[in-house]
Amino acid sequence: MPPGYGFLSENEHFAAACAANDVTFIGPPVPAIQAMGSKSTSKAIMIDANVPVTPGYHGNNQDPEALKAEAERIKYPVLIKATLGGGGKGMRLVERPEDFLDALDACKREALKGFGDDTVLLERFVQRPRHVEFQIFGDHHGNAVHLAERDCSVQRRHQKVLEEAPAPGLPHDVRQR
């Protein structure tokens, strides 16, 4: 598979097949893969853990007028995102209320075609964001290690093009936390 489209590390069926055949899967457990497969579910988990998230709407009401009202509440510009999938697919930037319904329709069509589900969430669009990731590994014995941070801000169509480690410009005090 091309990068960004179905790595086995993100495939719940592969992880379950490993477990069913007594093969140790080096990766997250199946329930974690399932939870992280939905952006709405993963945001709810982060909010419950007091992790700051981008302001938005990730609820169940998918009525177009209700979503448009949520976009007004969030304030434009907003990003409409398919809750499933990735690779920059199923995303639309909307800068004006009059463009919202057309963008929503296009996003839902692309999400349904690409991921078999047209559920979306909304986020306030963050202009000039920093995309910094941390890779953390843990085992069944309670040991954990992180491999420092990497800056993935260089993107094309919401897809990472370059990962730079350590992240340049990340303040030392932030790195130490």
Three-state secondary-structure class, residue 135: strand
- For residue 116, CA distances in Å to 83, 90, 113, 170 come to 11, 11, 6, 38
Nearest in space to 72 (alpha carbons), one of 49, 51, 53, 56: 56
Identify the helix (H) or strand (E) that includes residue 101. Answer: helix 100-115
- CA 133, 57, 81, 86 torsion: positive or negative? positive
Report which listed range, 59-63, 145-149, 171-175, is most confident.
Answer: 59-63
Residue pLDDT, tens place only, 75-112: 999 999 999 877 778 899 999 999 999 999 999 999 99
Tell me how many helices (H) and strands (E) the chain has: 6, 8
pTM: 0.78
